């Protein structure tokens, strides 16, 4: 194995974290031999294989592992037993920890948190102040943003716009918000905006909002019934 980087004598956190220095070029990351990277505790956190890299002020520590072609940059932190691999990006002020996994082409950015046993993969994006935790899985083209909290499969629902663009759009239950392209807001706001585009768009998005509201109403009724039986 030809080493990709070395640990420098530049440290922080009482000497537990070492800044890395590239020993060879990594063209896909625009990294040249001699360039300084981010911070790791040891070589067990960042693979020497592939083009994975830790940039800037980013930190990878604990038993966390970054490999494949993944990137960790900005002020991001990956720690505990988390794994980041494939072509995933963790950046800005995001945190990935616990036993969580971020892989595929997934992006975790902003002030987002992914923790617990959560998995973010495919082309999914988690950003803003969103939290993905517990046993949640966020995948495909899902976009979890704002202050949404996703703890399990029932925490969000993805639909597809079959009447025009074919793109997917998502509803997050915790904050009752819809993400459709660059739009992010309530169901009422989505319907109003859609009607401004066209009658067809308005009717279809209105039906989608009502459908999702009805699904969650049924789920809540079932949950209430379960709790009543349990209490008795």
Q: What's 27's DSSP letter?
A: G
Domains: count for the chain? 2
192 and 209 both lie in a single domain: yes
- Point out the domain boundary residue: 103, 135, 151: 151
166 and 191 both lie in a single domain: yes
Contact 4, 23 (CB under 8 A): yes
Q: Which domain holds residue 98?
A: 5-151
Mean pLDDT of 39-66: 97
Residue 24: per-residue pLDDT: 96
What are the pLDDT digits (tens) for 74-123? 999 999 999 999 999 999 999 999 999 999 999 999 999 999 999 999 99
Residue 222: per-residue pLDDT: 83
22 and 92 both lie in a single domain: yes
- Point out the domain boundary residue: 151, 167, 201: 151
**Residue (of 21, 30, 34) closest to 71 by Cα position:** 30
In degrees, rounded to 5, the angle at the alpha carbon of residue 135 between the alpha carbons of residues 133 and 139 is: 85
For residues 99 and 4, give the distance between their C-alpha atoms in angstroms, rounded to a whole number: 26
144 and 106 both lie in a single domain: yes
54 and 125 both lie in a single domain: yes
Could you tell me the CATH number of the domain that includes residue 65? 2.160.10.10
Contact 162, 144 (CB under 8 A): no
What are the pLDDT digits (tens) for 6-35? 999 999 999 999 999 999 999 999 999 999
For residues 44 and 33, give the distance between their C-alpha atoms in angstroms, rounded to a whole number: 20
Mean pLDDT of 141-169: 93
Distances (CA, A) of 23 to 7, 33, 34, 148: 10, 5, 6, 41
- Point out the domain boundary residue: 151, 186, 211: 151
49 and 106 both lie in a single domain: yes
191 and 133 both lie in a single domain: no
162 and 147 both lie in a single domain: no
122 and 190 both lie in a single domain: no
Mean pLDDT of 56-77: 97
Express as a percent the part of the chain with pLDDT over 90.
89
Q: How many CB atoms lie within 10 A of CB 232?
A: 5
167 and 69 both lie in a single domain: no
169 and 135 both lie in a single domain: no
23 and 41 both lie in a single domain: yes
């Amino acid at each position: 194995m030809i080493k990709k980087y070395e640990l420098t004598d530049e440290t922080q956190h009482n000497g537990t974290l070492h800044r890395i220095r590239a020993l060879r070029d990594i063209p896909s990351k625009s990294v040249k031999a001699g360039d300084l990277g981010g911070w790791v505790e040891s070589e067990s956190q960042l693979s020497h294989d592939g083009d994975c890299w830790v940039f800037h002020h980013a930190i990878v520590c604990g038993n966390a592992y970054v490999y494949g072609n993944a990137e960790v940059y900005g002020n991001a932190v990956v720690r505990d037993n988390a794994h980041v691999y494939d072509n995933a990006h963790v950046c800005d002020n995001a945190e990935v920890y616990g036993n969580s996994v971020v892989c595929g082409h997934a992006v975790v950015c902003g002030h987002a948190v992914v923790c617990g046993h959560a998995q973010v993969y495919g082309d999914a994006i988690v950003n803003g102040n969103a939290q993905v935790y517990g046993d949640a899985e966020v995948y495909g083209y899902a976009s979890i943003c704002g202050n949404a909290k996703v703890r399990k499969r029932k925490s969000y629902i993805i639909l597809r716009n079959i009447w025009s663009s074919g793109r997917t759009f998502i509803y997050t239950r915790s904050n009752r918000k819809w993400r459709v392209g660059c739009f992010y807001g309530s169901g009422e706001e989505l319907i109003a905006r859609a009607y401004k585009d066209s009658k067809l768009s308005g009717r279809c998005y209105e039906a989608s909002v009502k459908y999702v509201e009805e699904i969650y109403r049924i789920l809540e009724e079932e949950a209430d019934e379960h709790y009543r039986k349990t209490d008795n």
